[in-house]
Chain A
Amino acid sequence: QKEVEQNSGPLSVPEGAIASLNCTYSDRGSQSFFWYRQYSGKSPELIMFIYSNGDKEDGRFTAQLNKASQYVSLLIRDSQPSDSATYLCAVNRGGGFKTIFGAGTRLFVKA
């Protein structure tokens, strides 16, 4: 079992729809959870982080964390073609431990 698992996609949604990206992790000691966006040929860019169970909203992005189910998700409302990218889920248990990255989900937003 991979430490951080994501559906590789591609996930295709029409412009204006809600895109839902999911991630599961295996380490119950994980404390911090991150979503990075990576455009083709570019480096990952941090877009959201969440530490507590529940929802965290930032503009069109909402991160959802359920530690009991070891599940974290990212919702993108009113999806735009510019949201088309690979989204990486990352997990860290703090204390200097390594951050573990998922392989990423490719998202395509069709105009």
Chain B
Amino acid sequence: DGGITQSPKYLFRKEGQNVTLSCEQNLNHDAMYWYRQDPGQGLRLIYYSQIVNDFQKGDIAEGYSVSREKKESFPLTVTSAQKNPTAFYLCASRMTSVHGETQYFGPGTRLLVL
């Protein structure tokens, strides 16, 4: 099966704790993205990576970190510096064709603070 997987589905964070959200894709897509979605809100871009070993900050990168050591994997760490981390986190990868670029999403991880 080709697709994007995210784990865990639910994640609980204690105050002061760093947590890492996993995102894996076997679609051979070069670009990958992390978004945050708050209730009733649109998607806000946290970080994105267009190629292995390279990534850029999105609109709300503070308190988050990423790595891109493999094409298939783009993990997101929510650090203790992120004071309001409760949200739905979505990973996406981008397919490029002659018609343009299309993003496909993983199932998401819901992060809750204890």
Determine the main DSSP class of B at the interface with A: strand
Q: In the bound complex, do residue B103 and residue A90 qualify as a contact, i.e. CB atoms below 8 Å apart?
A: yes
Assembly CA distance A99 to B96 (angstroms): 13
Q: Within 8 Å CB of B103, what residues of A?
A: 34, 46, 90, 99
Is A59 an interface residue when CB atoms closer than 8 A count as contact? no
Q: Within 8 Å CB of A101, what residues of B?
A: 35, 42-43
Assembly CA distance A31 to B101 (angstroms): 9
Q: Within 8 Å CB of A46, what residues of B?
A: 102-104
Question: Which residues of B come within 8 Å of A, CB atoms?
Answer: 31, 35, 41-43, 45, 48, 50, 58, 90, 94, 99-108
Q: Top 10 A-B pairs ranked by shortest CB distance?
A: A32-B100, A103-B42, A43-B105, A101-B43, A43-B108, A44-B105, A101-B42, A51-B99, A43-B107, A43-B90
